[in-house]
């Protein structure tokens, strides 16, 4: 065993990798390498980056963007990302860094994130990704499904200020209280790709943000029963779209399906539910695939910026098979 370890250590020192098995993480990064519109995103960041005249040369924009995306995909803090770059060759390869090169530390990673926040580049990243998808015919914009999901925030007061984040709030859902924020999204009713993101405290009612989740080009909007009365609200009067809001569960349960009218109404609710279910897909991706179940930062602005990036990446993940097929064809 000791001899085998020495052999493996010697192979690692020589840069030899005799393993032929590709891990799921390696396959994932290979796919993302092909579907992310790197050129457009790098140009976006370069336009907002300051030009350094003194000191050490900054890291390449592409390197920092790739590291930032690794953080989102694998739920890594700035410190954890720095350590992962030292420990994981796969991450270094994806970022375009060799073992002989200087590795960005947590301060460099933090400053890059602050650059994105300062210039609201996360919003532009989502817009750029969606423009790419629309150009390939994957984002149709004829219909929109809207919904919101709760994102937990730390409720502990054991911190420097001795209080919870004042921009986060608690809300009761069912019989359980939740503390944190809400991610309100508008998604393409055909593909399930996110086109609009709004972040609020958890106690903000879903229906109050409905008008902010439509892009204005759709003819139909689908929503669950929490959006009852949305068509009568003042802020939605200028939206020229048909609102398809789900019936309240109790009212649907009371339908007499033995009558023709009751059967038709129940079938209509089933059709609306099938379309509306598309909005759950991006929530599953960011929470289960990317592991974003709790906010990482204090304040709504920083966390909403991260949500824009996460949903941009979730769009690419959900559309990856179609994008790869088009690239190969």
Spatial CA neighbour of 29 closest among 125, 94, 99: 94
The answer to whether residue 4 sits within a structural domain is no
Q: What is the pLDDT of residues 84-93, one digit of tens each?
A: 999 999 999 9
At 157 the pLDDT is: 73
Average pLDDT over residues 107-135: 96
Which candidate, 224, 257, 256, 227, places its Cα nearest to that of 239? Answer: 227
Where a domain ends, among 118, 148, 164? 118
Of 118, 153, 178, the residue at which a domain comes to its end is 118
- 283 shares a domain with 323: yes
Give per-residue pLDDT as tens, 166-178. 999 999 988 899 9
Residue 327's pLDDT is 78
CATH number of the domain enclosing 299 = 3.30.420
The reply to whether 217 and 303 lie within a common domain is yes
Specify whether the CB–CB gap between 198 and 181 falls below 8 A: no
Are 205 and 318 found together in one domain? yes
Judgement on whether residues 196 and 87 belong to the same structural domain of the protein: no
Q: Is residue 281 part of a domain?
A: yes
Neighbours of 177 (CB within 10 A): 11
Is 56 in the same domain as 160? no
Among residues 50, 85, 118, which one ends one of the domains?
A: 118
- Residues 280 and 149: their CA atoms lie apart, in Å, by 9
Domain assignment present for residue 242? The answer is: yes
138 or 13, higher pLDDT: 138
Q: Check whether residue 169 and residue 315 sit in a common domain.
A: yes
Sign, Cα dihedral of 290, 212, 145, 265: positive
Overall domain count for the chain: 2
Please tell me the predicted confidence (pLDDT) of residue 258: 87
Q: Are 144 and 104 part of one and the same domain?
A: no
Q: Which domain holds residue 38?
A: 20-118
**171 and 108 share one domain:** no
Shared domain check, 151 and 89: no
| Domain identity same for 105 and 201 | no
The whole-number pLDDT of residue 177 equals 93
Q: Helix, strand, or coil here: 182?
A: strand
Residue pointed to by tokens 């609020």? 200
Whether 196 maps to a domain, the answer reads: yes
Is residue 150 domain-shared with residue 85, that is, in the same domain?
no
Q: What are phi and psi of 148, to 5 degrees?
A: -140, 155
- Which DSSP category does 160 fall into? S
Is there a contact between 179 and 126 (Cβ–Cβ < 8 Å)? Answer: no
pLDDT at 43 over 70: yes
Closest Cα partner for 319 from 29, 31, 14?
Answer: 31
Confirm whether 148 is domain-assigned.
yes
pLDDT higher than threshold 70 for residue 6: no
Percent of the chain having pLDDT more than 70? 92
Residue 45 lies in a domain: yes
Residue 317 lies in a domain: yes
Note the pLDDT of residue 231. 92
Residue 308: inside a domain, yes or no? yes
The answer to whether residues 222 and 275 touch, using CB atoms and an 8 Å cutoff, is yes
Same domain, 275 and 187: yes
């Amino acid at each position: 065993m000791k001899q085998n370890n020495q052999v493996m250590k010697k192979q690692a020192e020589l840069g030899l990798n005799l393993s032929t098995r590709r891990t799921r993480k390696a396959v994932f990064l290979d796919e993302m390498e092909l579907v992310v519109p790197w050129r457009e995103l790098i140009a976006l960041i370069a336009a907002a980056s300051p030009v350094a005249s003194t000191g050490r040369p900054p890291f390449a924009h592409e390197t920092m963007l790739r590291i930032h995306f690794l953080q989102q995909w694998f739920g890594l803090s700035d410190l954890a990302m720095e350590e992962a770059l030292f420990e994981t060759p796969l991450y270094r390869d994806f970022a375009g860094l060799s073992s002989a090169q200087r590795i960005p530390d947590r301060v460099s990673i933090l400053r890059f994130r602050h650059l994105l926040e300062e210039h609201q580049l996360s919003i532009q990243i989502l817009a750029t990704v969606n423009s790419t998808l629309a150009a390939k015919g994957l984002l149709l914009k004829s219909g929109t499904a809207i919904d919101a999901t709760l994102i937990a925030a730390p409720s502990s007061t054991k911190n420097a200020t001795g209080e919870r984040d004042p921009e986060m709030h608690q809300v009761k859902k069912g019989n359980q209280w939740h503390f944190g924020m809400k991610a309100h999204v508008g998604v393409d009713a055909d593909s399930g790709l996110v086109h609009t993101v709004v972040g609020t405290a958890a106690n903000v009612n879903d229906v109050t943000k409905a008008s902010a989740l439509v892009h204005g080009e759709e003819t139909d909007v689908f929503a669950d029963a929490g959006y009852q009365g949305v068509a009568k609200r003042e802020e939605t009067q200028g939206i020229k779209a048909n609102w398809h809001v789900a019936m309240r569960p109790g009212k649907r349960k009371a339908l007499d399906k033995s009558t023709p009218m009751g059967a038709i109404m129940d079938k209509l609710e089933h059709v609306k539910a099938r379309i509306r279910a598309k909005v759950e897909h991006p929530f599953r991706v960011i929470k289960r695939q990317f592991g974003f179940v709790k906010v990482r930062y204090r304040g709504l602005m920083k966390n909403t910026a991260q949500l824009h990036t996460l949903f941009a990446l979730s769009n690419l993940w959900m559309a990856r098979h179609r994008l790869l097929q088009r690239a190969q064809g």
